[in-house]
Chains A and B, each alone.
Chain A
């Protein structure tokens, strides 16, 4: 049986892992390569690096982080943040990434997703969707630029469209929940899981192990992304998976 994945996410800027609340108030959480090795030892199923620096200097640093990580850990690596061109993707893949996650560039130019999938394959084309609930409605809107700019696009429709353009996976972040530790936005995640046939990664809001369980068991996510609960040593990945196994979720231990 295919196991459900636990994916620690490392937000990286200036070559350091940081963590903020709703994309603000960044705290230093350490060296990305060392943290990647730690998660590797703990049995993480994949790793995601999110480059939260917008500048091109920052991207050179990110390529270097990916390169060093890929020399030391042998597990799937995804890189997101600032991926705007085919050349950006090529550089990350050549450095040792397996997948790239495309966010703002997909909204600006949806054909870029198609181009990426045709050139490099759907298996390495992840579309990241940052969504916020429309107040008072069971509807969610896509945001870009790290959650700052509303687009007017419906998140469920957008996920379906991105799948049709060749996205092989959806990384779904609730901007309402990100950094809050209140748990994933389960109705949002379930709505996207049911709308597309590609895997969906739940993200934004994990504060407890039970939240991971809910992401899988209630929302049907293929993978759960989490940052704070692992970075600040609240739990190890191994503990999280033991908990999930006890509650009947198929995980790799």
Chain B
């Protein structure tokens, strides 16, 4: 069973329905005990890093998440759920993350341009994945495929071998992480139509 952590941040229903659509049972849970018992864990998240981290702490999820990851169970972070895996973020100040993947979350710089037009922030819409390593979630996914992003902050892990894919928006940034049993995407697989559903299916099938 896949547990989707409900800590009051964002649209969790689409993630759950996405897994159901590709044949996997997923429960949305606000109970850390359910997380500890799950075979696989998904940490979604939209909103501010600071608020997400505070809600994880207040909900008693930090230790269970670290334990699940330590024990080698498949783990998927999505959007801010990926950023939380890093060391810290500069969103609204400097806030500590889970430090599972050492690295920093930064804001897209002001004044980025492409072909004479200023680049808007948030980075919102469909952009291409440059796949660097064939993480299990990328089974059957073509390099250069478009996925749906919406974020104003980006990351690049200190250890570049943790990078599974990048995307470029003014800067090249980490679009997906893969380290052992831990995978994470800055984009939203649950909003990336067929290609995103394929990634959810891949995660459902992944055996750590």
Contact = CB atoms under 8 A, between A and B. Distances in A.
B169 interface: yes
Interface in B1-51: 10-11, 13-14, 17-18, 21, 46-48
Given A2-B126, A5-B125, A96 B114 contact: no
A229 interface: no
Given A2-B125, A3-B146, A220-B117, A40 B193 contact: yes
Interface string B120-133: 11111111100000
A74 B13 contact: no
Nearest to A76: B191
A208 to B, nearest CB: 23
A3 B127 CA distance: 6
Interface string A115-144: 000111111100000000000000000000
A160 interface: no
Given A3-B146, A75-B193, A123-B46, A70 B122 contact: no
A5 B126 contact: yes
B17 A197 contact: no
Interface residues of A, number: 36
Contacts of B11: 93-94, 96-98
Contact of A74 (B146, B151, B152, B197): B197
Contacts of B190: 74
A227 B198 CA distance: 30
A123 B193 contact: no
B120 A197 contact: yes
A85 B197 CA distance: 33
A74 B117 contact: no
A252 B146 contact: yes
Given A40-B193, A75-B148, A123-B152, A222 B13 contact: no
Contact of B124 (A94, A169, A197): A169
A64 B37 CA distance: 33
B193 A74 contact: yes
A40 to B, nearest CB: 7
Contact of A197 (B18, B114, B121): B121
Nearest to A96: B13
B125 A121 contact: no
A204 to B, nearest CB: 20
6 contacts: A2-B127, A45-B125, A74-B17, A75-B192, A98-B191, A122-B122
Interface of B: 10-11, 13-14, 17-18, 21, 46-48, 110, 114, 117-128, 146, 148-152, 168-169, 188, 190-193, 196-197
Interface of A: 1-5, 40, 45, 70-71, 73-76, 93-98, 118-124, 168-169, 197-200, 220, 222-223, 252
